[in-house]
Amino acid sequence: MKKMLMRYYFQMQSRTKKRKQLKLHYILKKTSAVNAPLIVIFSAFPRTGYEATYNYLKTLEGIPAHRLYILDRFGAQKRGTYYLANNGDFTLRSMVQELIRDIKIQVGTQRLICVGSSKGGYAALYYGHLMGAECVIAGAPQYYLGNYLSDQPLKKPILEGVMGNSCQSSIDFLNHLLPDLITQTPTLKMIYLHYSDQEHTYHEHIQTLIELLTKKEQPLNLNVAHYNDHQAVRHYFPRYLQTSLLSLQLGTKKK
């Protein structure tokens, strides 16, 4: 019953941007606060067997900022393709960029903050750099995306959902996507990064990410935990997300 009510709620709140055969679903929550930024929230993978859903709706409730929640409901079992492509067609990427630009105009702001954890953290870093965000707040993101999507047979459908195949050239392409983008774009005002130094993504992804950002002299705020299971990020990141946003100059509520 609860799942049915939540699905109905999301259907009522969601809007859709369409291009070709693609439907990009999103929820926009506006604020009356003055000089408020636009926060774009990217979703992590859902549990196995479940379709993608929106993340951090309750976590960000009441924040004096416009909030754009984008749903990544593509690929195998509609679990997500990192907001990048659908079977090798990168039209999805341009749709996400266009949506963010359009919403910035609609709410009247030039300030952009991108947030998310795990898959959503990768997307926050990617689109934050691609679109010149003020800040990124990411929790336990992937970095070498090709390696991540090819290290277990269970992930092969996700890789194929992104690239249309699972060949080595596609893996190499995805591995270079974020590192090359970060290298080629200006530094952001701040990147807030939460991670655990005891789970596998630290040594496989985050350590190298931090090395690149440090070499680039990117201002960083690092929040280090010590959990062993990557899935535990969902218990730690929400509070760090709230704390990080409250440290920023968001909108001013009208008196």
Please report, for the chain, the start and end positions of each structural domain, with discontinuous segments joined by +. Answer: 16-242
Question: Checking DSSP bridges between strand 135-139 and strand 190-196, what pairing results, if any?
Answer: parallel
pTM: 0.94
Distance CA 220, CA 93 (A): 26
Angle at 84 between CA 81 and CA 89, to 5 degrees: 95
pLDDT tens across 208-239, in order?
A: 999 999 999 999 999 999 999 999 999 999 99
Angstrom CA distances, 228 to 18, 195, 202, 231, stand at: 40, 11, 10, 9
pLDDT tens across 99-112, in order?
A: 999 999 999 999 99
* Ramachandran sector of residue 62 (left: φ over 0; alpha: ψ -120 to 50; beta: rest): left
Distance CA 163, CA 147 (A): 13
The alpha-helical segments, DSSP class H, found in 112-152 are 119-130, 145-148
Mean pLDDT, rounded, for 111-140: 98
pLDDT tens across 16-44, in order?
A: 988 888 999 999 999 999 999 999 999 99
Distance CA 159, CA 42 (A): 18
CATH number for the domain whose boundaries are 16-242: 3.40.50.1820
Distance CA 48, CA 157 (A): 12
